[in-house]
Amino acid sequence: MMKKKWIAGALSLSLLSSMPYAVTAEAPQKQWTHVNAYEEADGSPFNSEHYNFVKYSKIGGMLQKIDRESKRVTLEETGKSADGYPMYVVTISNPEDKGKYGHYKKLRKQMFKNPQKAQDWIAQNPDFKVPVMINGSIHGTEYIGSDAVLQLIDRFANDDDAETREILKNNILIFNVVANPDGRVDGTRFNGNGIDLNRDFITQSQEETKQTVDLITEWNPMVFLDLHGYVNSSDGKPGLIEPCTPPHNPNYEYDLFSKWALDQAEAMEAEIVGNKANYESDHYKSMTGTYIPQRDDSAGWDDYPPIFTPMYAMYHGAYGYTLEAPTNSWDGVRWANDAVMGALKFTTQNKQGMLTDQIEIFKRGINFDHPYHEEGFFPNAYVLPVNEKDPTVTEKAVNHLLENDISVEKSVKSFSANGKTYPAGTYIVDMSQAKAGLANTMLWDGEDITNDTPAMYDISAWSLPELWGFEAIEVKEELQAKTAPVKESDYAGSLNGKGPYVISNSSVQAVKLVNDLVRAGESIYKGKDGNFYVKTLAATNKSLVQQSGITLEEAVLPVEKEKLTTLQVAILKDGGMNKAQSHSGTKLALERLGFSVTEVTPKEVAENGLRQFDAFLFSGTDALLQYERLSVGNKPFAVGSKEAYDRFKVNVHAFIENGGKYISVGAGGAKATSQLGLTSVKINTGSANSNGIVKVNYSEDEVTAGYKASDIGFVYRPVWFTELGDAKAVATLAAGDFFVAGHWKGNEQASGQAVIVEDAEKDVTLIGIEAGFRDHTDYLFRLLSNALYQ
């Protein structure tokens, strides 16, 4: 019976997906944006299997039809993707519960105010409902996630069997239907800005990420299931279900998560294997289990960084899981469907104990009682001082904390901490709060875990104070300060005096203001000190200063100065080598700095040269210069042929010889620069999965203006330079133990070595540290603007 029902759901979706749009969207009650089917990719060449997945252009109509026909369903458009496609959220519950969502959300918020009262209430009221959130296809080419979501929506909207009724009696289901619409439309892993959304959750640079964060903070789901693909094997255990291998982030209350996580994973596994007769492929019919990293392995699939969606959700108390289907096929969809059903059955059976322990996380935070942490691991508070002239970095940090459900206060009088006095208006994060783990993972310095595990899956350090450039001072003593709660941090910029004015080279926002004013026709000068100067401002442009949040002080114009002009900046485009756009982080950084950036592909550089540009950046994989042994997936993005490579090389050399500025970023850029014969320095690289925060010594130079002599940097696939010859080192890794936090085996060989060098004769700069990594390294973005303006 169950098999027949499941197949019927799959058939109905297949039929709907093949119908013309007019058939599936009869008289819609709301205005929705749809993409034309002919604009959509049929799949990805990086997938080894292909099937007739549901196109994004059909999904809106399908959801509207279900919404009209089912009293259980609430359909919302909760945001737009980077490319402007709607983001659909479907909430399903019993009809009598639909009008009570506000009430249920208030009950969930009560967990943060009086967790003991909330625990007592659920002990006495067993008929409560828990929210479960299912996230579909955050990686666009992992099509099975959203297809499984659509089938689950169809079932829970329409079916009336005992199992469906029991699940809806105990749960509210929240489906983020297509977490990455751009990727599904374009056939890419990333979104329209080239960002991997499943690496964006600590910084939340993308609108899609913010939408998911809003859903998590709105509902505080008890369980979070993130549907992915593809992890396959031939040992009878295809697919993957978390929990993860060590190392586990110490900011979790991991004992409470572990109490239930493996049992729930095995319940998902049992549901999949129990239904194996219903699959089409022998590979699935012969399943004996699935790969559960925590049970089946010792390292290699960790939950350490809070960049992944489920790991981020865990800081909000969720039991978070990544589910990796084995194949890109309807059997893969069935596998994901079965896994979710196993999770829902387990949640229904164990909701009282699971919710009690979720609330216990918040109770520990509020009571500052962390029994499985060493005493002193969590500080009593963090103090966030404000730079009165340029408060923009701290303002961004405070708003980021608030958007993530972290309480922030502001002192109304001066106070003392750690023997220092701070003025009124200083921000304070009291660590006696429900989501103390999330607050600490955002604000702590991190740790060196090099010796804790052989390798990491992704980044191992992300300290927002270090990498965004604001102070977060740990206070271990009891803090005595009169404070008021903060709802938003919003500073207006201003002009002190009649001019001339100085714009200190102090933040991303400061550089953006400079570029905005140049674009608006103002005469802006750069001094030898790296700061920017303006004689006076037109009345119409003063609003730009106000919007920036920066206070401009009167200053004397320096004698030696250079007038800035609007730069024509090009960056080499990685269209998607190995499923990633390796240049996208640097492009994002340049845009945040206020530069207008043009992407040019390797083939375009080979054909057209770079004559119309002032500066050219190579920030991405050196594989873009390959022309042999290219996979089908990579071939469209590389230079492609020996003839094209030769023309590319000639055109880049000609660009530099005619006064163009060339900047490389990271290991890939450095290796490409050497391959092109633009530098003779020796390029040295660490292992591909090494990364972290490092101590850097910055020399006095235009490229390093605004940085302290002893400061920080960030490395990812580290690179450093030796045998410099006539090249000038303007930044080196500190001598001795320079590694602050992260994972980098063998880092001692890079101690004291150069990480930023300038050619003695050509306008060629090699930046080895990650000046534009995702949206993590705001503090280092100005290395790019300095290099462009030098």
Q: Which residues are catalytic?
A: 324
For residue 472, how many C-alpha atoms fall within 13 Å in the half-sphere facing its CB? 29
CB atoms within 10 A of CB 736: 10
Residue with tokens 């060989």: 749
Q: Retrieve residue 631's tokens.
A: 């996979």
Q: How far apart are CA 157 and CA 486, in angstroms?
A: 41
In 3D space, the residue among 200, 177, 225 whose CA is nearest the CA of residue 67 turns out to be 177
Residue 528 carries which side chain, given as an amino acid letter? K
Closest C-alpha to 186, from 20, 25, 33, 35: 35
Is the separation of the CB atoms in 598 and 590 below 8 Å?
A: no
Nearest CA-CA partner of 663 in 530, 577, 783 = 783
**Which residue is associated with the tokens 């540009």?**
613
Beta carbons of 229 and 43 less than 8 angstroms apart: no
Q: From CA 746, how far away is CA 785, in angstroms rounded?
A: 32
* Helices within 570-690 (DSSP H only): 584-592, 602-608, 642-657, 666-675
Residues 6 or more apart whose Cβ sits within 8 Å of residue 311: 201, 249, 303, 304, 305, 320
Q: What is the spatial distance between Cα 52 and Cα 328, in angstroms, rounded to a whole number?
A: 10
The answer to whether 772 touches 586, Cβ cutoff 8 Å, is yes
**Strand 551-554 to 494-495 pairing:** parallel
Q: Which two tokens stand for residue 229?
A: 């693909």
Q: What is the DSSP letter of 453?
A: -
Of residues 325, 404, 363, 277, the one with CA closest to residue 148: 325
Burial of 632-659, coded b for 16+ CB within 10 Å and e otherwise, reads eebeebbbbeeebbebbbebbbebbeee
Residue 15 token pair: 């039929």
Could you tell me which residues come within 8 angstroms of residue 313 by beta carbon, excluding any fewer than 6 positions away? 133, 216, 221, 224, 320
CB neighbours of residue 467 within 10 Å: 24
Closest CA to 661 of 522, 732, 764: 764
- 173 burial (CB, 10 Å; 0-12 / 13-18 / 19+) is buried
Tell the residue number behind the tokens 């608006």, with chain if given. Answer: 520
Task: Report the residue count for the chain.
Answer: 790
In angstroms, rounded to a whole number, what is the distance separating the alpha carbons of residues 693 and 383? 22
Q: Which residue has the tokens 């997936």?
A: 633
**Furthest-apart CA pair in the chain: how many Å?**
86
Query: Are 229 and 142 contacting, i.e. CB atoms less than 8 angstroms apart?
Result: yes
Beta-ladder partners of 501: 534, 554
Q: CA-to-CA distance for 202 and 218, rounded, in angstroms?
A: 18
- Phi and psi of 91, rounded to 5°? -110, 130
What CA–CA distance (Å, rounded) separates 562 from 326?
Answer: 59
**What would the two tokens of residue 3 be?**
């098999």
Give the strand pairing for 130-136 and 223-229.
parallel
CA distance 220 to 56: 28
